[in-house]
Structure 1
Amino acid sequence: MSVYLDHAATTPVRDVALSAFHDVALLGGNPSSLHGAGRRARRAVEDAREQVAAALGVGAAEVVLTAGGTEADNLGVKGLFGARSAEDPARTRVLASPVEHHAVLDCVTWLAEARGAEVRWLPVDRRGRVDVDGTAALLAEDPDRTALLTCMWANNEVGTVQPVHELVELSHAHGVPVHVDAVQAVGWLDGEVGSLGADTVAVSGHKLGAPVGSGVLVVRRGVELEPVVHGGGQERGVRSGTVDAPAAAALAAALSAAAAERDVEAPRVAALRDRLAAGVLALDPTAVVQGADLHAPGARLPTNLHVTFPGCEGDSLLYLFDAHDVAVSTGSACRAGVPEPSHVLDAMGVDAGLARGALRFSLGRTSTDADVDTALAVLLGVLDRARAAVARAHGLAAS
């Protein structure tokens, strides 16, 4: 039986999302058209927008529909920077967490290379948590020249939850807007997106059980963004392009379901994660759990277990688990196959050799006790073979 422990990459599509997609797809019509078919499609989009807004705790007018989390992050980061620097060309500083997903990191890098942004990296501790006092000091250095601050709600690799409420409060005290990547957090963490108070917040549909290709950027009332895509002026004029009505309906259905079940599913999945962690450490006492304390309330995603195995290569571990029909990952799926150490572990100060043996187990609503049992049952064999492969490689190199 196949075991899927890579929910952070994507999670299986929910039946309610497929049903919603199907029903709206049959309507036909462009939501921007004025005839009956167009009006029916528009009604479906606006119903979905209101449903999304209710689940996130924001106003419907604050919901900008996108094609996914990456687009939402691009629009949030680039859009804030563009609007702020247009108001005042001196606003070129960008404060960013160094443990962000590449959807944000690469935006920040692009702003530095193409738009002359001055990037300052927020300090993080050994657990991958942004230091609030260090961030306060950076904000106070030159707030009038700071275009924005960006920090994710929860890390996609090691699961650490960031102090976003405090960061937003600090930033706003200096008049600096904040973008939050909430892709991994929504549906699992306490609190609604609206409670963050951030200026823009990115959400992805396929992490919640919607099909790939749907997402949201929450844009707080009164916040101006420079468009990234130009065209017909849809979605408040900041995200042109024909709105995907079936995708919006599917996203709304999946998000509503995730919000409704969170109080039950989050502790259930956390208990499975903890049992998996205990089993891993019992089988291999040299293994190291990276990220926030598993047992500190609210410090870590309930879905995430990130472990480094000394003497192993993460890719070997992944393929050996896959040979047993157990799906895991070495980190972000967006960087899979890239032969570089994790930038997240590097920012945390994890030894480069240890970081090479990183493996991420991420659980979700379909995870079961049987999945944990299967993963633990094959672990020792996987570790033995992975370490033997490293030993052989070292032997060949020495000869």
Structure 2
Amino acid sequence: MSESTARPNAGTGRAARMAPAVAATLLALLLGLQPLSTDLYLPALPALARGLGAGMPAVQLTMSALILAFGVAQLFWGPVADRYGRRPVLRVAMALFAVASLGATLAPSIEVLTLWRAAQGACLAAAVVCARAMVRDLYEPAEGARVMSLAMSGLGVIALSSPMVGGLLAASFGWRSTLLAVTLVVTGVLLFVWRVLPETARSLNPQALHAGTLARTARRVASDPTFFSWASLTACTYGGLFVVLASSSFVYIEVLGLSAAQYGMALGAGSTSYVAGTFACRRLLRRHGLTGTVQRGAFFSLAGGLGMAALAAGGVHAVAAVLVPQCLYAFGHGIHQPCGQTGAVSPFPQAAGVAAALAGFALALVAFCVGLWLGQALDGTVRPMAYGLAFWAVLTAGVAWTLVPRHGALRAA
């Protein structure tokens, strides 16, 4: 199937028609809401802590609450999207997301902010689940990996600009302006979804929300070795990325002395490397297939993680000693995520929502645990960030070099 053609939609009796550029833009926007919700906010964390009089564990909880809600809510939105379709789920969720973002902007205390951040995460889950499922709706696995890589290049542009914009906003207008910016972007995505998105599900499953059916489907997905291999890859590589996301503002600003705007540029450099990784992913896929691609990407993940840990252990506390390994890891992440997200849903064309939800839940659970750990581990040095990144880099390489070659072969519908 070419990128310009979508399958007939058995759920609505019509063909899902989207021009390739529109489809890629929509997927990038939906997937990009995740880095937008985190990266735009990161430069403002030290100022937020001072403004609300909150300690490090409480501030980290605003991140962890979003991620935990994001993970758990995917288990809800996945089967709902299989039952009612991607379009109605996205319309409802994006409207609620805009409300939650406005509530976070106006939050009077760290406790209220944490609650609104959790609500943001729950709504964000629908965007990511539906986007991943839409790729499986429209494309066979091999082509889907290339399309996902293209969409993630767009996501990378959002991830690149978010910390820089967030740093400028936080420095100029205070930490609340970063959350107001999220509100405005989500409202724009809602309008785009409302106007251009057709229903992409091939068929709707009236039994998707029945407890027995849902339990059987979830068990079938979770026990599939192909799913487990690719979902493990995405969870491990994101574990390392979340170490960077949740700790880097404190490391760069409070340990290494960068301003909020300079920190945004540093995080943006990592996002640029991530975008380069998604481009490399497409080239590698043509030559080596999915398994060979992630095996090669693991070298970059490992070099970044172990390199940062070695420099930190040697007492090298400099911006370059953190930034260069961070960029290497981000390059590998740009290779792993498109392949892993496509591979996790590929065996389940009729239950893509559930598969995407379970993979996303595993990813978010890892990130939540990382956030809780960092809330206690950050000690005014670069070591927690460096050692945490090394841990997840080793796991990512291990999965890419063992589980994926054994069980990760993709199969068409």
TM-score, normalization: structure 1? 0.25
Larger RCO (CA under 8 A, 6+ residues apart) = 2
User: Based on CA coordinates, which of the two structures has the bigger radius of gyration?
Assistant: 1
Structure that is richer in strand per residue: 1
TM-score, normalization: structure 2? 0.25
